[in-house]
Amino acid sequence: MEIWAALLAVVGTLAASLGTFVLQDRAQQRRDREAERDQVRRELQRACALYAAAADDVRQLQVQRYTRRVSGNTITAAGPHMPRIDEARAEVTRLRHEIELMTADAGLLAAVTELADHTARLYEGRDEETVHRAVPEAAEAYRAFLAEARRVILVV
């Protein structure tokens, strides 16, 4: 009888240890998933903020370039701040791809594409009408992107 009691005690201890292990493992997996989600959210937030800033830089620099470098009705291509606008445009493209790799959210991806398209139109604008039409459209795409980014970042 004592052997059975001892064996039952050992089996009970093993079962309790196994149960504790399983519960702790599941809790750790849940903490790991939450930490990973938080990291992805922070990285996505960083990328979206940088993307918005780069797109806004393109808009502001293009307006500055237009107001400073008008010759007739054509914007001259040269200017001391041209490398900055080219760098900002390249950053928009780079960050667009980074965001596309981080999320599959259709609304955010559509807003990213829309802002990139408006930024490209603004960047390529070479006459007064094109630039003046592109500025408010780019600003609206910028606001729409920020709204989508907020929605996704708060949900992730």
Res 112: pLDDT? 94
Interaxial angle between packed helices 128-155 and 2-68, expressed in degrees from 0 to 180 and rounded to the nearest 10:
170
Q: What residues contact residue 78 under an 8 Å CB cut-off, 6+ apart?
A: 69
What is the C-alpha to C-alpha distance for residues 95 and 53, in angstroms, rounded to an integer? 10
What is the C-alpha to C-alpha distance for residues 134 and 82, in angstroms, rounded to an integer? 18
Distance of CA 124 to the CA centre of its chain: 24
Domains in the chain, start-ordered, CATH in brackets? 39-155 (1.20.120)
Query: Could you read off the pLDDT tens digit of each residue along the chain, which spans 156 residues?
Result: 788 888 888 888 888 888 888 888 888 889 889 999 899 889 999 999 999 999 998 888 877 776 655 455 555 554 445 678 888 889 999 999 999 999 999 999 999 999 999 988 888 877 767 777 888 999 999 999 999 999 998 875
Predicted model pTM = 0.70
Q: Using the structure block, give the residue that is written with the tokens 């907020």.
A: 150
